[in-house]
């Protein structure tokens, strides 16, 4: 036989073990089950379920059912054992015919406990908390064992669960866990075969390694019935992503405008838009307000505007075009007048913390080569750091870090056109950001644009969905990527991801697999 038992004919049998909820240990065999099926679906919150037929009486109490597959090569006697899953068990009804009683047990994965639980009172995850650690604490509080990949993502604002349910405040603990994981760039919670809850980092489909190949030939394990689906009539070609917090609201946009794409705005002659909304910014939050879409005004934090600083010219809000950062259509124009002195903008009444570094980032356009001065923070008794640099003409990104000496209100976000600038020269300030830390992160609009592009390439892509049935192989699992080489039926895919898998607990343990392949961009 082949070195791999799964590529040869094998005998199949199943064992069912009782697992104590209190200890997690197997306490004995369950003999009354006669077969059934297991379903896993990455697009459902609870991820997995099962159904088992039984004969006689079945009383599991609060214990779990664990299912094993035993495979044996009839020629060599070589064998393999695979755990297929651990489930909660419900027996809502049974049928009695004479002396024979039969029933169907409904089984639920361990995430069912989280889905059925909710917070008794508002549950706050504070700003600065590690999102994955917070999700882990919620799951472990429900008695679940969690295996989590490390993450350093922290929340920029406090999140509150356990209040009126909305898209941002889900109505159960599983929704809270998955929202925290999503913010950290993780995929939704899943479980392994032993009932442990898994927190895994999300990988774009194109980045997932190929775990299995389904192909024709001597080792073909695919059965001769399949479906191939692709519905692209209303394929989305524009995605909007809105991020909103108390101090900032930004929109990111991605559009498929390529003449080479059959689903683009150009090829279809129409825009089909989908909008996503999130409540936490995708990058470091700014302590100034309105910096993503700057407006000239009275310059207070509450007004989310910027005031004039200096007497060497004028400031006004103008429309701009051609900004390399998509979605930027306005800026504050700082124009040098004929008088002496510099001219700039700032925002007042911003509370800063003593000893905490703050980094200012500015994105601006210069009409010609000029000198500009950046000053992250200022108050009469604490001028902070400042730097003057020559820039232009064209678009420029600048940053500078300063540390306040007091925990007080400051003015922040200063950017000046120097006194030496020629009369009539100007700079258009399109982005202003002052954030905690010494590292200048992305502007919120940039990060929102990237998120929109990612969603356009995956969730909003045209999707091809082949459905195949194959003899069991443990290397194929939900979420993983595989290749399909079935030229005789017209399906040859270099990469497709398993979205759903149904296991039939019968000879060969056939797997009915729904695959998903994204047809737009780099996602596949």
pLDDT of 80-100, one tens digit each? 999 999 999 998 877 887 778
- 472 domain residue, yes or no: no
- 495 domain residue, yes or no: no
Q: Torsions phi, psi of 239, nearest 5?
A: -120, 130
Tokens of 109: 């994965």
Encode pLDDT of 440-473 as tens digits.
999 989 989 999 998 888 766 677 889 999 999 9
- Of all helices (H) and strands (E), which one includes residue 29? strand 26-29
- pTM, two decimals, is 0.66
**pLDDT score at 18:** 96
Task: CATH number of the domain at 433, please.
Answer: 2.60.120.260
- 182 domain residue, yes or no: yes
CA distance 371 to 402: 20
- 480 domain residue, yes or no: no
pLDDT at 357 over 90: yes
Domain boundary among 81, 108, 135: 108
- 144 domain residue, yes or no: yes
- Domain shared by 265 and 393, yes or no: no
- Upstream peptide bond of 393 is cis (omega within 30 degrees of 0): yes
Rounded mean pLDDT, 304-329: 95
Q: How far is CA 206 from CA 65, 181, 415, 481, in A?
A: 36, 21, 42, 9
Query: Residue 50 is part of which domain span?
Result: 5-108
Domain boundary among 169, 199, 229: 199
Encode pLDDT of 200-252 as tens digits.
999 888 888 998 888 888 778 888 878 888 877 788 999 999 987 666 788 99
- Domain shared by 29 and 43, yes or no: yes
Using DSSP's 3-state secondary structure scheme, residue 31 falls into coil
- CA nearest to 459, candidates 264, 213, 205: 205
- Domain shared by 430 and 329, yes or no: yes
**pLDDT score at 354:** 95
- CA nearest to 416, candidates 431, 408, 406, 426: 426
Using DSSP's 3-state secondary structure scheme, residue 181 falls into helix
CA distance 448 to 241: 6
Rounded mean pLDDT, 493-507: 93
Tokens of 182: 């999503």
- CA nearest to 46, candidates 85, 76, 15: 85
- Domain shared by 348 and 429, yes or no: yes
pLDDT at 382 over 50: yes
- 145 domain residue, yes or no: yes
166's CB contacts (< 8 A; 6+ apart) are none
Q: Torsions phi, psi of 414, nearest 5?
A: -70, 135
Task: Evaluate whether 376 touches 401 at the Cβ level (below 8 Å).
Answer: yes
Task: Evaluate whether 294 touches 316 at the Cβ level (below 8 Å).
Answer: no
- Domain shared by 337 and 425, yes or no: yes
The neighbour count for residue 268, using CB atoms within 10 Å, is 17
**pLDDT score at 85:** 97
Rounded mean pLDDT, 309-316: 95
Q: Torsions phi, psi of 195, nearest 5?
A: 85, 5
**pLDDT score at 30:** 95
- Domain shared by 92 and 151, yes or no: no
Alpha helices, DSSP H, located in 195-236 = none
- Domain shared by 340 and 406, yes or no: yes
- Domain shared by 306 and 435, yes or no: yes
**pLDDT score at 162:** 85
Percentage, residues of the chain above pLDDT 90: 69
- CA nearest to 449, candidates 471, 466, 431: 431
In the DSSP assignment, the letter for residue 247 is: S
- Domain shared by 353 and 406, yes or no: yes
Cβ-count burial 95-113 (b if 16+ within 10 Å, e if not): eeeeeeeebebbbbbbbbb
| pLDDT band of 520, cuts 50, 70, 90 | low
- Domain shared by 42 and 165, yes or no: no
- 475 domain residue, yes or no: no
Task: Evaluate whether 155 touches 128 at the Cβ level (below 8 Å).
Answer: yes
| pLDDT band of 67, cuts 50, 70, 90 | very high
In terms of Cβ atoms closer than 10 Å to its own Cβ (0-12, 13-18, 19+), residue 479 is: buried
In terms of Cβ atoms closer than 10 Å to its own Cβ (0-12, 13-18, 19+), residue 158 is: exposed
* DSSP structure string for 386-430: -EEEEE-SEEEEEEEEE--SSSSEEEEEEEEE-TTSPTT-EEEEE
Task: Evaluate whether 477 touches 501 at the Cβ level (below 8 Å).
Answer: yes
Domain boundary among 441, 474, 497: 441
- Domain shared by 91 and 132, yes or no: no
The number of domains in the chain is 4
Task: Evaluate whether 433 touches 220 at the Cβ level (below 8 Å).
Answer: no
The bridge status of strand 197-199 relative to strand 146-148 is: parallel
- Domain shared by 90 and 129, yes or no: no
CA distance 404 to 383: 9
- 227 domain residue, yes or no: no
């Amino acid at each position: 036989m082949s070195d791999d038992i799964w590529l040869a004919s094998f005998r199949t049998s199943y064992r069912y073990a009782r697992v104590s909820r209190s200890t997690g240990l197997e306490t004995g065999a369950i003999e009354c089950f006669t077969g059934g099926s297991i379903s896993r679906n990455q697009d459902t919150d609870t991820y997995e379920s099962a159904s088992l037929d039984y004969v006689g009486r079945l009383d599991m109490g609060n214990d779990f059912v664990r299912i094993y597959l035993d495979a044996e090569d009839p020629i060599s006697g070589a064998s393999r054992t695979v755990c297929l899953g651990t489930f909660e068990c419900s027996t809502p009804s049974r049928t009695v015919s004479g002396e024979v009683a039969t029933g169907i047990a409904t089984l639920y994965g361990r995430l069912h406990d989280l889905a059925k639980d909710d917070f008794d009172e508002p549950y706050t995850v504070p700003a600065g908390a590690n999102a994955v650690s917070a999700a882990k604490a919620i799951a472990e509080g429900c008695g679940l064992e969690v295996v989590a990949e490390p993450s350093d993502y922290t929340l920029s604002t406090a999140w509150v669960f356990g209040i009126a349910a909305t898209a941002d405040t889900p109505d159960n603990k599983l929704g809270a866990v998955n929202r925290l994981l999503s913010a950290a760039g993780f995929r939704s919670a899943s479980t392994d075969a032993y009932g442990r809850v898994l927190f895994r980092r999300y990988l774009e489909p194109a980045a997932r390694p190929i775990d299995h190949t389904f192909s024709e030939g001597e080792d073909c394990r695919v059965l001769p019935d399949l479906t191939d689906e692709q519905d692209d009539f209303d394929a989305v070609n524009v995605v909007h992503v809105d991020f909103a917090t108390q101090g900032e609201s930004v929109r990111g946009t991605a559009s498929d405008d390529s003449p080479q794409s059959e689903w683009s705005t150009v090829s279809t002659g129409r825009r089909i838009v989908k909008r996503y909304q999130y409540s936490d910014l995708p990058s470091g939050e700014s302590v100034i307000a309105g910096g993503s879409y700057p407006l000239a005004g009275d310059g207070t934090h509450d007004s989310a505007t910027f005031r004039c600083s200096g007497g060497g010219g004028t400031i006004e809000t103008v429309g701009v075009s051609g900004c390399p950062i998509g979605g930027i259509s306005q800026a504050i124009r700082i124009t040098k007048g004929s008088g002496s002195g510099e001219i700039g903008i700032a925002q007042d009444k911003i509370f800063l913390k003593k000893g905490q570094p703050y980094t200012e980032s500015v994105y601006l356009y210069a009409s010609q080569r000029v000198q500009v001065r950046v000053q992250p923070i200022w108050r009469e008794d604490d001028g902070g750091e400042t730097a003057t640099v020559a820039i232009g003409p064209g678009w420029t990104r600048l940053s500078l870090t300063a540390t306040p000496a007091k925990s007080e209100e400051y003015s922040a976000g200063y950017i000046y056109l120097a006194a030496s600038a020629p009369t009539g020269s100007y700079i258009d300030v399109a982005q202003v950001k002052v954030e905690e830390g010494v590292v200048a992160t992305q502007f919120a609009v940039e990060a929102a644009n990237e998120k929109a592009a990612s969603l356009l390439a995956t969730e909003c892509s045209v999707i091809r969905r082949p459905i195949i049935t194959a003899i069991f192989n443990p290397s194929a699992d939900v979420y993983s990527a595989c290749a399909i080489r079935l030229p005789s039926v017209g399906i040859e895919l270099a990469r497709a991801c398993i979205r759903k898998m149904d296991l039939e607990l019968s000879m060969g343990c056939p797997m009915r697999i729904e695959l998903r392949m994204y047809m737009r961009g780099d996602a596949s």
